[in-house]
Chain A
Amino acid sequence: MSDKRLQRPVRVLDSLPMLIVCIAVVSVLYAVCLLRIASNNAMRYMIQIFLYITMGQMWNLLSGFAGMTSLGQQLYIGLAGYSVAIATAKLHLTLGVGLVMSVAVSVVVALVLSLLLFRMEGMYFSIATWVVAEAFEKLFLSWKYVEQGSGLTIRVVPYPKIEEICAVSLTVCVMSIAVVYLLLRTRTGLGLTAMRDNLTAASAVGVNVFNHKLLVYVIAAAFTAVSAGIFFVNKGIVYPESGFGISWTVSMIFIVTIGGSGTVSGPITGAVIYVFLQELLAHYPGWSNIILGAITILVIFFLPKGIMGTLQEKLRFEIFSAKRFSFAKHK
């Protein structure tokens, strides 16, 4: 049959060549950091981009797919920073153990909090996540063991070199993209994609919305924590404000909105743009937030699906796609 409508209206580019391109790009990035081809300065940007991509992927999973617009992911960022600092400075453990601890602590806290937070939806959920993060900030501000407001330094000898931090960030970033992509290819992913479009209808056709939300919330806590742990290793010190501040969420919203909510390629694009913009705007202190805000509003206004979302729709293609076809992929 040569019915026009049977032709694929959307082209999915996730093929073997695409996989090879991805592997090539990742290998080049590894080479660039491990062989010290890039300057220290360039590597600092790379680290930021990798970590923001990871956090963006996770926030997108929460907000773009599961309908949970969290304003409190900085909770896991702060917890991770302090876990690494406590593990190294107080308990004299290795960095690796510190990172594992940051993930463990975050997953446990996420599971406990889900009992409370999942009773709420929409705006109430968003506010509650924020309030919890703020409460933790106050807690750490007054907690003597972590030196209150003067912050906690991460102490390890020898301190990891920047190229090592860069390579680990890249690994976490690649893992986060792979986990999100592979998750979306499973039946859970099919449910999540439905939830992205309509929560009520999803539950009416049998999607266990609660379980999907819980899974996403825990995965997001884990990956946000490990990326934050690396971030603070790079910084060397964590303060209550730098860990639990709302500005983390502002960055994630920017990255996901600009890039394209509900797509895997969106947060990648968004994070790259965000890091460069931040750098450009650093020359205009005081203006940077206003300009970032204005850009977000413009994008929401003119490209409501974000850069990648709009591009994919207009050019009728998808990458890192969760799309299912009614006919075999290979004709």
Chain B
Amino acid sequence: MSIILEFVNVNAGYGRIQILNDLSFAVDEGQVYGVIGPNGSGKTTMFNALLGLIKPSSGKILFDGIDITRTSANVRCKMGLGRTFQVPKPFENMSLYENVLVAAVHGGTHRERFAREIALSSLRLTGLYDKREIKAGELALLDRKRLEIARALGTEPKLLLLDEVAAGLTDAEVKDIMRLVADLKAAGHSIVWIEHIIETMVGSTDKLMCMAEGRCVISGNPREVMESAEVQRLYLGVDENE
């Protein structure tokens, strides 16, 4: 199995504040790779570095075997990185359809005529089809999270990056997301999924990494990682996110 994503000793942060410390890990193609870690451990920052919103001060990021450390965000997206934002960033004055259309036209580099179908099927997959003509700014939080997924799918990603898309959902809705992730995996997508909900991380991932202070503390079989002494120590007494 080939490696789709690799971080090699990545150091990155905001301005002079360093958040990621020599972060290294690798994601196999076709797998769901889970990421857990306490609040502020740098999970979202890892996505920011991965998408090129912040530039590493040292280290390398390899995507599909290509060094993308210095590549700009829009090019990374076109290469096949589709990302959701933990705090949704919809295009508020555009309809849901237009939100996803932008992704399919620019990220997917399709003509508008073809992008249409991709946008509509992403909206169908995420259960937003009936609301597609509503302005994104009028959505409630849960639908905003769904829109994040729809928009990322609109770019036709090889590697889908999910940042706490299930946080705050009901059990039934969490199950829906898990089913969606399974479907996407079956359709050939590789996925990196950050989430605090243990059930999703144990139930849906092929491999799990735990981050702390911008480092990879442990990675491997999800159940073993969860039960490891390192993770137990990090989460000792902390189950408010469960």
Contact = CB atoms under 8 A, between A and B. Distances in A.
A binds B: yes
Given A191-B106, A208-B106, A198 B89 contact: yes
A207 interface: yes
Given A194-B91, A205-B77, A262-B93, A8 B133 contact: yes
A206 to B, nearest CB: 3
Nearest to B123: A326
Interface residues of A, number: 31
B154 interface: yes
Given A201-B85, A205-B155, A208-B74, A190 B134 contact: no
B98 A324 contact: yes
A6 B73 contact: no
Nearest to A187: B105
B112 A205 contact: no
B133 A326 contact: yes
A203 interface: yes
A9 interface: yes
Nearest to B91: A197
A8 B151 CA distance: 21
B98 A193 contact: yes
A326 B93 contact: no
B112 A204 contact: no
Contacts of B155: 205-206
B226 interface: no
Interface string A174-207: 0000000000000100110110111011111111
Interface string A257-269: 0000010000000
B175 interface: no
Given A187-B105, A206-B155, A207-B74, A201 B91 contact: yes
Interface string A115-126: 000000000000
B102 interface: yes
A205 B103 contact: yes
Contacts of A203: 53, 72-74, 77
Which of A7, A194, A205, A324 lies at the interface centre, i.e. has the most chain B CB atoms within 10 A of its CB?
A205
A206 B108 contact: yes
Given A197-B94, A206-B78, A6 B130 contact: yes
B89 A201 contact: yes
A198 B99 CA distance: 11
Which of A3, A194, A262 lies at the interface centre, i.e. has the most chain B CB atoms within 10 A of its CB?
A194
Given A9-B133, A197-B93, A205-B155, A326 B120 contact: yes
B64 to A, nearest CB: 16
Interface in A1-20: 3, 5-10
A324 B97 contact: yes
A6 B133 contact: yes
B53 A323 contact: no
B92 A200 contact: no
A8 B134 CA distance: 9
A191 B112 CA distance: 12
B210 interface: no
A258 to B, nearest CB: 19
B108 A324 contact: no
Contacts of B53: 200, 203-204
Given A206-B78, A262-B93, A324 B101 contact: yes
A197 B92 contact: yes
B107 interface: yes
Contacts of B135: 9
B89 A190 contact: no
B91 A193 contact: yes
A325 B134 CA distance: 11
B102 A5 contact: no
A5 B133 contact: yes
Contact of B94 (A187, A193, A208): A193
A148 to B, nearest CB: 44
B29 to A, nearest CB: 21
Nearest to A326: B97
A210 interface: yes
Interface string A302-331: 000000000000000000000111100000
B73 A198 contact: no
A207 B93 contact: no
A209 interface: yes
B145 interface: no
Nearest to A209: B74
B91 to A, nearest CB: 4
B149 interface: no
Interface of A: 3, 5-10, 187, 190-191, 193-194, 196-198, 200-210, 262, 323-326
Q: Which 10 A-B pairs have the closest CB atoms?
A: A206-B107, A197-B91, A206-B106, A206-B77, A201-B89, A205-B103, A326-B97, A203-B73, A194-B102, A207-B106
10 contacts: A9-B134, A187-B105, A194-B91, A197-B91, A201-B85, A203-B73, A205-B103, A205-B152, A205-B155, A326-B97
Interface of B: 51, 53, 72-75, 77-78, 82-83, 85, 89-95, 97-99, 101-103, 105-109, 111-112, 116, 119-120, 130-135, 151-152, 154-155
